[in-house]
Structure 1
Amino acid sequence: MAKAVLETKGLRKAFGALQATDDVSISLRAGEIHAIIGPNGAGKSTLIGQISGALTPDAGQVLLCGKDVTGLPVQARARAGLARTFQISQLAMEDTVLQNAALGALGAFGRPFGMVRPVLRDTAIRDRAEAALERVGLLDQRAMRTAELSHGQRRQLEVAVALTLEPRAFVMDEPMAGLGTEGSARLTGFLDELRSQAPILLVEHDMDAVFALADRISVLVYGRVIASGTVEEIRRDPAVREAYLGDET
C-alpha cells in the first residue's frame, strides 16, 4: 500500500459538551481523491479546520509526508505543501486575477504580504502566478477584475492560488458549492486531472461529483467515521444508507 501523503491519527475536538470530531483517522495517498461525506453537523468543517491548522485538536495528530505538523499554524502548513480551498471564496474581488495568484505565490516564497503591484515586478513571483493560471485555463483572463469572473472561474482561480504553493496535497471544502450542472461537470473533469499533480482530500455534498471522482470515501456522522471504502463499498453499506445516502444510491 502506498505511503500516506496526508494523514490524521485519532483527531478529537470538542466544543463544550459537543464532540465535533471523535477519534478521526484518515489518510490520503499519492494520486488519489479521498472524499469526506456526511450530513450537516457531522463534523466535516471541524475536521478540515484541524487538518489545515485553523483549529487546534484536543488530541491526535496531523501528518504531512510523514512529518507531524499538528503544532504548525495555517501559513506554515501551507508553506510545507498543504493547500486549501474554501467553501466560501477567500479571493480579493477588486484585485485582478493575476494579483490574486501573485498573493499565493508570495506565500510560496515565504515573503510577507504587502502591496501587490510592486510584487508583480518580481519575475519569479509573476512567472509562478502565470504558470498556475495557465494550468487552470485562466491565463487569458489575468488582467480581469476577479469580481468579473463567473462563479466557476473563481473556483478555478482558487485552485490556481493553491497551485502557486506547489502543494503536496490539496484540501478542498465543497468546491462544487453554487455551481450548476454544467459548471460542476467542468470542475469535476478538472479535478480528475489535478489529482496527478497532488492528491485531493475532498469534502463535498454533490454526490454525483463524489461518486465520479473518489477513489475512497469516508463517511463522517456525529464526529466519527462510520465507514470508509471504495465507491461501491460505500453505496452498499447499510449503515451509510441509513445515516446519509438514503435513496441517493
Structure 2
Amino acid sequence: MTEAVLETRDLCKRFGALEVSKDVSISLRPGEIHAVIGPNGAGKSTLIKQICGAEKPDDGRIYLLGEDVTHLSVDARARAGLARTFQVSALAMEDTVLENAALGVVGASGKAFRFFRPVLKDTEVLSRVEAALERVGLADAAGKQTSELSHGQRRQLEVAIALTLAPKVFVMDEPMAGLGAEGSKTMTGFLDGLRHEAPILLVEHDMDAVFALADRISVLVYGSIIASGTVEEIRADPAVREAYLGDLS
C-alpha cells in the first residue's frame, strides 16, 4: 500500500468531560481526496484544528510525510507543506487580492508581518503569487480590493493562498460553504484537478460534491469514526445511513 502523506493515529481530544475526538485514525494517500463527513457537532472542526496545529491532542499522533508533527506549531506545519483553507473566510478585506495571496508566501517564509511590503517587490514571490491567482482564475482581479470579490471568488482566493505555500497536502474545511449550485459545480471541477498537485483532506457538507470528488470517505459521529470506505461502501453502510446520510444516499 502507498505510504500516507498525512496520517492521524488514535487522536483523542477532551474538553472537560466531553470527548470530542475518540481514537481517530485516518490517512491521506498521494493523489487522492479523502472526505470527512458527519452531522453538526460530530467533532470535524476539532479534528481539523488538531491536524493543522490550532489544537493539541490529548493523546495520539499526527504524521506529515512520515514525520511526527504532533507538537509543531501552525506555522511550522504550513512551512512543512500543510495548507489549510477555512470554513469562515480569514481574508483581509481591505487589502488587494494580490496582497492577500502573498500572505501565504510571507507565512511560509517565517518572516514577521513587517516584512510584508518588501516581499511584494520580490520578483520571484510575485511570480509565484501571480501563478497561483492564474490557477484559480483570479489573475485579472489581482489589483481589486478583496471586499469587491463575490463569495465564490473569495473561496478561490483562499485556495490561491494555499497554493503559494507549494503544499504537500491540502486540508479544506467546507470549501463549498456559501456557494450556490453553479459555484459548487465550478469549485468541484477545480478541486478534482487539484488532487494531482497535492492530495486533499476534505471536510464538507455538500454531499453531491463529496460523492463526486472523494476516493475515500470517513464518517465521524460523536467524535468517533464509524465507517471508512469508498463512496459505494459508504452509501450502502446501514450505520452511516441511520447516523447521517438518510435519504441523501
**TM bucket normalised to smaller:** over 0.9
SS in 1 for 2:8: strand
- Give the match for residue 58 of structure 1: 58
- Give the match for residue 196 of structure 1: 196
- Listed as ranges, the matches of 1:64-213 within 5 Å are 64-114=64-114, 116-213=116-213
Q: What's the C-alpha RMSD, in Å, of the aligned pairs? A: 0.9
What's the offset of the Cα at 1:115?
A: 5.5
**Residue by residue, what CA displacement relative to the aligned partner does 1:218-241 show, whole Å, maximum 9, x if unpaired?**
000000000000000000000000
Distance 1:140 1:61 in 2: 43
The question of whether the paired residues in 1 share the 8 Å contact of 2:171 and 2:201 is answered with yes
**Residue by residue, what CA displacement relative to the aligned partner does 1:129-158 show, whole Å, maximum 9, x if unpaired?**
111111111111100111111111111100
SS in 2 for 1:25: strand
Letter in 2 for 1:54: A
SS in 1 for 2:209: helix
SS in 2 for 1:55: coil
Letter in 1 for 2:200: I
TM-score after normalising by structure 1: 0.98
Distance 1:131 1:141 in 2: 13
Distance 1:161 1:112 in 2: 17
- Give the match for residue 2 of structure 1: 2
- Give the match for residue 224 of structure 1: 224
Distance 1:221 1:57 in 2: 18
The question of whether the paired residues in 2 share the 8 Å contact of 1:87 and 1:173 is answered with yes
Distance 2:115 2:81 in 1: 24
What's the offset of the Cα at 1:118?
A: 3.1
- Give the match for residue 16 of structure 2: 16
Length, aligned pairs only: 249
Distance 1:173 1:141 in 2: 24
SS in 1 for 2:35: strand
Q: Structure 1: which 5+ runs fail to align?
A: none
TM-score after normalising by structure 2: 0.98
Distance 2:154 2:163 in 1: 14
Distance 1:120 1:79 in 2: 19
What's the offset of the Cα at 1:71?
A: 0.4
What's the offset of the Cα at 1:97?
A: 0.5
Distance 2:157 2:114 in 1: 20
Distance 1:126 1:111 in 2: 16
What's the offset of the Cα at 1:2?
A: 1.2
Q: Percent identity?
A: 74
The question of whether the paired residues in 2 share the 8 Å contact of 1:106 and 1:125 is answered with no
Q: Structure 2: which 5+ runs fail to align?
A: none
The question of whether the paired residues in 1 share the 8 Å contact of 2:106 and 2:116 is answered with no
What's the offset of the Cα at 1:117?
A: 3.4
* Aligned: 1:214 with 2:214: yes
Distance 1:86 1:51 in 2: 13
SS in 2 for 1:42: coil
Distance 2:242 2:103 in 1: 44
The question of whether the paired residues in 2 share the 8 Å contact of 1:135 and 1:160 is answered with yes
Distance 2:204 2:181 in 1: 15
Distance 2:66 2:117 in 1: 38
